Amino acid sequence: MLSSHPRLRLLLKFSAGLVAVAVVLTGFMVATAALFRPDLTHRPAMPSVAEASAAQTARAARIDPIHPQVIWRDVNYAEGARAAWWPKHESPILAELVHEGKLPPLAQRVGPEPLVLGGVDGLGRYGGTWHRVAINPEDLEGIIPTRLSYVSLVRWSPEGYPVVPHLAKSWTVSPDQRVWTFTLRRGLRWSDGHPFTAGDIMFWWQQEVLYFKSDTLTDPSFMRQSGKLGQIEQLDDLTLRFSFAEPNGLFLEKLASAVDYFRPAHYLRKFHPAFGDPQFIADTMRAMNLPSPQAVYKRIQHRLNPEHPRLWPWIY
């Protein structure tokens, strides 16, 4: 008698339909999951007892606010290539390229003022596989510059403070803390071998932040103080001046937390709407099926573009 009620029959049909849809979706997900299942035939090798013990010891370390851990090394560049800290070894991948004549020898590639870092666990080992899980491409995009690469003018130490030099070898600040001046290391290069200069930071500032006037392409938030955007000036190839209308005593900390504020101008210029050949950009826009020249530029300078020169220590 209940089943003869029109509303009840409609409800039963609707419920049956939902169940059928759920069954179909479940079957579809189970079937497609097999297509994307990771290859588990080659599992990572288990660490030895000694390696596991060393890892446990490292995890047991405690933060010491009186003597914070620092991996940056303050070296005397006047010692030159004879110094014990001078780079003398390289990845076997790069050594093979040198042997094939595709790269100059290490001694010719190292600049006169290299960045020297001391590993927490001593000298590292070349090679190996780093297994990392990401839930989507955007997750990976955020992990690369902030955790795996972390390139900035200055950097945090493992426990936070002190903030130490990185791409910049030194800096000064005005008494009122409104003007910060940074000097870059000599001999810095992009991954394609092209020199890295203050002009690459100015390209980001002038041709992205000020040209596009959009936070969707780049994030200049670390350049804001009291709601006002600061200014960047290039004094020469190795010197930059950051100026603010208000005192900015925490600018060093902001800068240490900022990434991705420099661009390889020599690579990106031809894709930029203000400099690139309009026909070349239009052809690229059609080839990539993108709606605008700005979209082309954004795609080319994206972190996941493997052709984009980087300052990262990774090959992919």
Of 143-152, 189-198, 283-292, the least confident: 143-152
Over the stretch 13-52, which tens digit does the pLDDT of each residue have?
A: 777 778 888 888 888 888 887 777 777 777 777 888 888 8
Positive or negative CA dihedral for 124, 127, 129, 132?
A: positive
Instruction: Report residue 73's pLDDT band, with 50, 70 and 90 as the boundaries.
Output: very high
- Residue 309 structure tokens: 């020169």
Asked if 225 and 248 touch (Cβ cutoff 8 Å), the reply is yes
Distance of CA 33 to the CA centre of its chain: 31
- pLDDT for the residue 214: 65
In percent, how much of the chain has pLDDT > 90?
54
Query: d(Cα 307, Cα 200) in Å, to the nearest integer?
Result: 17
Q: How many helices (H) and strands (E) does the chain have?
A: 11, 8
CB half-sphere exposure, 34, CA atoms < 13 A: 5
Cα end-to-end distance, the chain, whole Å = 69
Query: d(Cα 153, Cα 162) in Å, to the nearest integer?
Result: 14
For residue 115, pLDDT over 60 is answered with yes
Average pLDDT, the chain: 87
Q: Where are the domains of the chain?
A: 168-300
**How long a stretch of residues is the chain?**
316
- Residue 167 structure tokens: 């791409």
Q: Quote the pTM value.
A: 0.77
- pLDDT for the residue 2: 47
Mean pLDDT of 262-290: 95
CATH number of the domain at 168-300, please? 3.90.76.10
